[in-house]
Amino acid sequence: MAQLLFRKMTKADLPAVTKIENDCQSHPWTLLQFLDGFNAGHHGWVACQDNAGREEVMGFAIVATVLDESMLLDFCVSPKFQQMGFGKRLMTFILERARAENIVQFVLEVRASNRPAIALYESFGFKKISARKDYYPAKIGREDGLVYSLSSF
Ligand SMILES: CC(C)(COP(=O)(O)OP(=O)(O)OC[C@H]1O[C@@H](n2cnc3c(N)ncnc32)[C@H](O)[C@@H]1OP(=O)(O)O)[C@@H](O)C(=O)NCCC(=O)NCCS
């Protein structure tokens, strides 16, 4: 029976992570951007399915922390594992880590059209604090970015 585990992302995960990113995002980060993130000190976490010692990355999160504030920079669940509760479990793990590290504010930015992600974040109590007009490139033109914050968790 496969087990779900969460662990730190390593550079060896980047091919799988980049594949999920490409499958999930309209304007995906490149492998080089993930590598730059490692060098900049971003924290990457992966959710894996462990099947008798064979791991498959199902989703990941990238978090940047400065002092007692964290920012969620990227968050994806592979399409083949979406809507099965893994996004919720990965977010629960990320927020538990933040709590253990005494983080007082967690912020993130999301495309205004991204209903699944917004529903997920709001279900954890994230509140919209601002909007950045035309922040993201879209398939046609630009779209707004919504900034969400969680400060009691
Ligand atoms: C957003 C995302 C991470 C959710 O992951 P997931 O594993 O499918 O989410 P879960 O199955 O744990 O669902 C958790 C909650 O998210 C919301 N949700 C997930 N998929 C949804 C959908 N298609 N429509 C509406 N709400 C949805 C619901 O609130 C759901 O809770 P519920 O099942 O109690 O209704 C996933 O859709 C994804 O990777 N999307 C592409 C990448 C992306 O947009 N990342 C966010 C960038 S800011």
pLDDT in tens, the chain (153 residues): 678 999 999 999 999 999 999 999 999 999 999 999 989 999 999 999 988 889 999 999 999 999 999 999 999 999 999 999 999 999 999 999 999 999 999 999 999 999 999 999 999 999 999 999 999 998 889 999 999 999 977
Count of Cβ atoms closer than 10 Å to residue 111 Cβ: 18
Does ligand 1 lie within 6 Å of residue 80's CB atom? no
Superfamily of domain covering 3-150: Gcn5-related N-acetyltransferase (GNAT) (3.40.630.30)
Q: Which atom of ligand 1 is nearest to 117's Cα?
A: 1
| 148 labelled catalytic | no
* Domain spans, the chain: 3-150
As given in the structure block, the two tokens for residue 141 are 């033109």
Q: Is the dihedral of CA 77, 150, 119, 29 positive or negative?
A: negative
- Taking residue 114's Cβ as centre, other Cβ atoms within 10 Å add up to 17
| Pocket of ligand 1 contains residue 76 by CB under 6 Å | yes
Distance 24 CA to ligand 1 centre (A): 11
- pTM summary value: 0.96
CA distance 43 to 124: 21
- Is position 109 annotated as part of the catalytic site? yes
Ligand 1 closest atom vs CA 20: 39
Residue 89 has what pLDDT?
97
pLDDT at 1: 66
pLDDT recorded at residue 74 = 98
Does residue 87 line the site of ligand 1, with CB under 6 A? Answer: yes
The active-site residue, picked from 55, 56, 69, 109, is 109
